[in-house]
Amino acid sequence: MAYQAVPDTVTLHRSQMSAALRAESAALREAVHAEWTKLRTVPSTGWLLLTAIALTVGASALAAGVVKCPGSCGEDTTRLSLTGILPGQAAVAVLAVLVVSGEYSSGMIRITLTAVPRRATALAAKAIVVTGVVLTAGTVAVLGSVLAARFILPGNGFTKAHGFLALSLGDGPTLRAAAGSVLYLALIALLSLCLATALRDSGASSAVVVGLLYIVPVLTGLGTLDPAWEHRLQRYGPMTAGLAIQATKNLKTLPIGPWQGLGVLAAWSAAALVAAACCSTCATPDPGDKARSPPTAGHQPGSPTIQPQETPCSSARSPGSGGTPLKHLRGVPEHRVYRLELVPHPPRQPVVLCCH
């Protein structure tokens, strides 16, 4: 009796899934590299990060210098040393909004979505790069704030004689407050980035982010709301809940616990991420698809179109260069060549950008 070998279906599926995962991982790495290249080459990125650090450290040092003991000996010195997070988060939010809205306003989003056709991958790459940069800048800002308060507070009466030890990250509650503040800034950046992706407008995105962050403290500070509603707003507002991570004293009197409050902010960011992914996936046709389509009769002369070519980078040549290879750019897979073409009448010779 003859037996015929039957392929193992499970093994085939596993190998296919493994290959697909490797391809997705490679695409994400390339997209992250491209987003990092774009972010670090924009001058506003450095200025906004420096502004966030300066605002955080400066406001924290100012708050530590103003409060004195014995007049305010019941103060939570750790939370006081991190006061600068309040103004510093504004610069972080602006940076995250501009990462997305700047591309839509300038039209660069067409090139981004041509190089990375999957919107979910493009969004994930932006989120990874922005949160990574903000985590780094936030760490510097928080360390500077704690260090400044460590030197300033003893001169204002917060000494061992009044029951205060010098601020130290070796203290568990202080370390939790400092690390939580860094995570807070990263979550604010992620929330702002996702809202900007969903709204695609810098003005609307900035207004929504500012409203979400600052409207709850304003409403609860007026004292005109019902106490039950004030408690709910403080418990579930993204800023008021997230900043509970900074508290090291009187935790039982807080509307929400430190880690639970940071979890509320994480839930806001996760919801915004899902909304951004849905808006991106279910949006109108991809601007990159529109750019790749042939020019129509109403196409304006001189407007760019982007067309992908499955040509190895090594074989791409610059028009009129006598066969000289083009300068390679980074951030796009090696096997993709994108042709940026001006379309006057008659069409000019296309210019090929070879990217790897």
13-37: b (≥16 Cβ within 10 Å) or e: eeeeeeeeeeeeeebbebbbebbbe
Closest CA to 40 of 102, 130, 141, 139: 130
Model confidence, pTM: 0.76
Question: What would the pLDDT profile of 213-268 be if each residue is shown by its tens digit?
Answer: 988 888 887 877 888 888 888 899 999 999 999 999 888 889 999 999 999 999 99
CA distance 49 to 351: 36
Question: Coil, strand or helix: which one is 337?
Answer: strand
H-run or E-run covering 12: helix 9-40
- Give 275: exposed, middle or buried? Use CB within 10 Å, 0-12, 13-18, 19+: middle
Question: What would the pLDDT profile of 3-51 be if each residue is shown by its tens digit?
Answer: 555 455 556 566 767 766 777 777 888 889 888 988 888 888 999 999 9
Q: Is the pLDDT of residue 191 over 90?
A: yes
